Amino acid sequence: MIPTARFVEVTKKYGRVTANEQVSFSILPGEVHALVGENGAGKSTLMGILSGFVRPDAGTVLIDEAPVRDATPATMLRHGVGLCAQHFHQVPTLTGYENIALGRAGKRGLFGSLRGDRKRIRELMQRYRLDVELDVPVDDLSLGERERVEILGLLYRDSRILILDEPTAVLAASEVESLLQTMRTLAAEGRSIIFVSHKLPEVLAVADRVTVLRGGRVVETLPRRDVDTERLVRLIVGGSPPRPAQWSAQVPGREVLAVRDATLGRLDGLSLTVSEGQIVGVGGVEGNGQKELASALLGYEPLVSGEIRFMGEPVKRDVRKFRRSIGVIPEDRHREGLILGRSLVENGALGRHDRSPFSSAGVLRWDKMRAHAAEIIDVYGVRPGDATLPARSFSGGNQQRFIAGRELSQRPPLLLAVHPTRGVDLGAVQFLHGRLLEERARGAAILLITADLSELEAVCDRIHILYRGRSFYEAARNEIDTDGMQSALLGLGPSESRR
């Protein structure tokens, strides 16, 4: 069979970091080809190269066995490559219809009509069961709907090579099932589907072949029948996976944080409490109030109604004082957790640089700041171990270790961790989970907001699943049933889950 797309020794470096090295493999017509690997293994860069957004330093991409030189998104589009990006390439202010028609808009002259083609889009919606509201700005759609708009756009442009980059990350279980179905239908028509995913059960359910990337290189390309979960994990991490952190029972102490009837944006009357020596997890599909909860606790926005109590005292005007007495691992380490252009010396003192010991009598103590950064680097195993390097020259996992180190070094009574392990390598995930459990043993209260259900199960004493801004499912660790949790993501009760 002639491959529709083939990578030949593709290499891409960003400064000193190698994203892809000598990558070679091919995509066949009519197959669902899964691409797996840890974060930072080079999957997204590779797909960027195939879709024309990223220019490789060396190597060639062949489409129908013909090399494509100096590819741009436009040329790749003409070759039939369509990318459904993880953080959708959409114009948020335009409607779904306008986003789909955008490519044609430029080719119809100054006043070319935007009408027409609605019929074709309707047909596509029906044929592939991709139902979505077309005349609403995509900003107002759910992530699942936005994804359907994106896929419709690819089909509208007749893409024969469809790249789906982490498409299931934002979907509920039933939506995932129907997306996998759509992928099989598309492959059956002879199209090539490249399915980039972290979720191995989905990969095993839908893929015909699997290519594993590690450290920017291809480890192996295998037919589906030759792999199982265990083998895939070994290939992905390169050896046996690190041992997961061990949870053990512990009696919680005094109540540290209490959120009552919190209402703000999508948050609609949420109540929860966290006590000393307890990890409380908040899960759910994104956009059900998690952001607002973090936002209220960080003091970005005041609650519309309800209250937050810290150590029994209501937090009102003294939000900043509250904020400065807790530790926070933020959602976005690049924009919030770090000042990328500054060295770890400054980053290590971030937020406490105006207090003792980092400043005394109104003067910065650079010596204390240097020593502190060096200590975090040492204790948290940050590599490379040079505090004078700017934060941007560290990998995601090392940045996250450093942030965790900074936030925990003050032994805060309360730690708020928002998606702490998103986008970091497995080693760092286990390390961070271990640290969270150690802090718990020390007696810290920890509120963990995450989209990862396995993370909730691994470390939490108690979980809440948010749905439409409320705690829709709540359970202590020993009462958690995975089915109930899954269906709660969609707002379904346990009895409805198996319909």
Question: With contact defined as beta carbons under 8 Å apart, do 346 and 353 qualify?
Answer: yes
Residue 97 vs 473, nearer CB to other proteins: 97
Cα 330–chain centre separation? 13
Instruction: For the segment 75-94, give every residue that binds other proteins (CB under 8 A).
Output: 77-78, 83, 85, 87-94
Query: Which part of the chain contacts other proteins (CB under 8 A), choosing from 109-117, 221-229, 274-282, 443-451?
Result: 109-117
| Least distance (Å) between residue 87 CB and other proteins | 7
Per rule CB under 8 A, count of chain residues that contact other proteins: 76
* Share of the chain residues as helix, strand and coil, in percent rounded to the nearest 5: 35, 25, 35
Should residue 239 be labelled a site residue for other proteins when binding is judged by CB under 8 A? no
Find the binding residues for other proteins in span 163-182 (CB under 8 A).
Answer: none
Q: 3-class SS at 442?
A: helix
Q: Report the nearest approach of other proteins to the CB of residue 77 (Å).
A: 4
Hey, which residues between 363 and 402 contact other proteins (CB under 8 A)? 363-364, 366, 370, 388, 390, 392-393
* Closest CB to other proteins among residues 204, 350: 350
Among 8, 28, 62, 102, binds other proteins (CB under 8 A): 102
User: Residue 51 or residue 486: which is nearer to other proteins going by CB?
Assistant: 51
Closer Cβ to other proteins, 91 or 441, answer by number: 91
Comparing CB distances to other proteins, the nearer of 127 and 366 is 366
Ordered DSSP codes for 171-184? --HHHHHHHHHHHH
Q: Which of residues 25-64 bind other proteins (CB under 8 A)?
A: 48, 51, 53-55
CB of 113 to other proteins, least distance (A): 8
Under the binding rule (CB under 8 A), the answer on residue 114 touching other proteins is yes
In the region spanning residues 243 to 282, those forming contacts with other proteins, defined by CB under 8 A, are none
Judged by CB under 8 A, which of 110, 240, 251, 495 binds other proteins?
Answer: 110
Q: Which C-beta is closer to other proteins: that of 102 or that of 490?
A: 102
Site track 317-356 with other proteins (rule: CB under 8 A), x = hit: ---x--xx---x-x-x--xxxxxxxxx-xx---xx-xx--
